[in-house]
Amino acid sequence: MGAMKAAALALALCTTSVTAQQPSAPIQLDPKNPHYFLYNDKAIALITSGEHYGSVINPDFNFHKYLDTLLADGLNYTRLFPGSYVEVSGQSFGIKRNTIAPPGDRLLLPWARSTEPGYAGGGNKFDLTQWDPQYFERLHDFLGEAEKHGVIVELSLFSSQYGDAQWKVSPFNAANNINHTTEALDLKHVNTLENGNILALQERYVRKLVHEANAFPNVLFEIQNEPWSDHPQLESVINPYLFTGRDQYPNSVEVADSDSIAWQSRVAEWITTEEAQLPHRHLIAQGYSNFRLSVRTLIPGVSIVNFHYAYPEAVTLNYGLNKAIAYDETGFLGRSDDAYRRQAWNFMLAGGSTFDGLDYSFTVGFEDGADKEPNGPGGGSVAFRKQLGTLQKFMSGLPLADMHPDYSVVAHAEGVTAHALSSSGGVIATYLDGKSPSRPGSCRITLRLPAGDYRGQWLNVVTGEATPVTSLKSSGAETILDAPLFENGIALRLQRALY
């Protein structure tokens, strides 16, 4: 980069001021246990059921009420699409009341509107060389309020375009800006190095957002949401025994191809080189694949590996990376709370760092998440968030810096699937996924516990009610414990007495 270009870029980045107070250290991987995060001197896991990523670009969405709701439910995470990708209400994925699809003339993006009409979504076209101060004021307000509420924000800088409906309203589409971006560009090339003059505008956008977010300690950067969707490379399948549709979604496990990885690597460089000139360094996440897969290679600088619609095996297969493994988005299992609650407990008790439910009950006018009408290919409800709050309370009560997956402590769990964590200090945390028979004492769990006296509790993951385990003595051999009646999962925590 020449001196004149660097000076111009620096001037452009400083057109609005960062209003947040200077923080202490941003959220980071816990150096004692990098499978979790360190924030405000405490090891934490991230758990939420959050809105569909439009808190800032949709000015009609009351994010103050939204953040109040997350706080009240004991949740601490949200994702944010900051403007490079928008959707179309009712068309994109069948979402009827879509927070990242406000009416076009209400859409608030980082770029200022020009005086020229013709934006495909409504209103004037964008000028990609001019920033919109109103947008950055709202961004700062959101990040600052999220910090006060203890909510970590993942800024997903880019997303796949998926199809013509989204590309038609993209600010990078030549029809929607006055900057003569490359015309007749195939949407599959937007997030590659072969995207004409869009690449320089993408760099300017990334550096600006990184600059503006630098003072906030509660920020993570995701390079791109679901990069495999526009650039799929088949790596595996979930069920190899299917007769039809074996290599197709939802049975296919895909990663982004080499064209996408080259571009994502460039974006990661923009993040790191921009932050090298700034006071703080933030974590970078890479969207790796759907479902489950052993990671081959991560982009340099990545600390968080994001999976969508994830199986707990996504953690098991990649635990040795010593990175945070995240379940970054749920969906496509209908509206039942049970399905997503079970996913959350299985993933987190397998050693996951993050569970992010995509909650379609958050809409404009229902920022308390109380919209009960069908709204998309997923779930979300007041009851579900309370249940996730129970999971968050359970996780935050563990000594996470010392907790690791334990594949031997549960020797056998009758008729159910078990995931367990344990610590060197004698804390055992187990989740049993499934259903007990109808008669008490008929679901037994065989434990291999170090010798000692234990106390703890069974936890009803639906109601949050606890049943004490007041006296359990292990000689070091196998120990039998009868579970209370349960349906669709139950959790157990034990603590060895220290004398």
> Is 250's pLDDT higher than 50?
yes
pLDDT tens column, 329-354 = 999 999 999 999 999 999 999 999 99
Mean predicted lDDT score pLDDT of the chain: 94
Local confidence band at 22 (pLDDT 50, 70, 90 cut-offs):
very low
Q: Residue 52: what pLDDT?
A: 98
Average confidence (pLDDT) over 49-61? 98
Local confidence band at 430 (pLDDT 50, 70, 90 cut-offs):
very high
The percent of residues above 70 in pLDDT, for the chain, comes to: 94
> Is 5's pLDDT higher than 80?
no
What pTM was computed for the model? Answer: 0.94
Q: Residue 112: what pLDDT?
A: 98
Query: If DSSP states are collapsed to H, E and C, what string results for the chain?
Result: CCHHHHHHHHHHHCCCCCCCCCCCCCCEEECCEEEEEEECCEEECEEEEECCCCCCCCCCCCHHHHHHHHHHCCCCEEEECCCCCCCCCCCHHHCCCCCCCCCHHHCCCCEEEEEEECCCCCCEEEEEEEECHHHHHHHHHHHHHHHHCCCEEEEEEEECCCCHHHHHCCCCCHHHECCCCCCCCCHHHCCCCCCCCHHHHHHHHHHHHHHHHCCCCCEEEEEEECHHHCCEEEEEECCCCCCCCCCCCCCEEEEECHHHHHHHHHHHHHHHHHHCCCCCCCCEEEEEEECCCCCCCCCCCCCEEEEECCCCHHHHCCHHHCCEEEEEECCCCCCCHHHHHHHHHHHHHCCCCEEEEECCCCECCECCCCCCCCCCCCCCCHHHHHHHHHHHHHHHCCCHHHEEECCCCEEEECCCEEEEEEECCCEEEEEEECECCCCCCCCEEEEECCCEEEEEEEECCCCCCEEEEEEEEECCCEEEEECCCCECCEEEEEEECCC
Local confidence band at 247 (pLDDT 50, 70, 90 cut-offs):
very high
Q: Residue 6: what pLDDT?
A: 41
pLDDT tens column, 294-303 = 999 999 999 9
Q: Residue 104: what pLDDT?
A: 85
Local confidence band at 58 (pLDDT 50, 70, 90 cut-offs):
very high
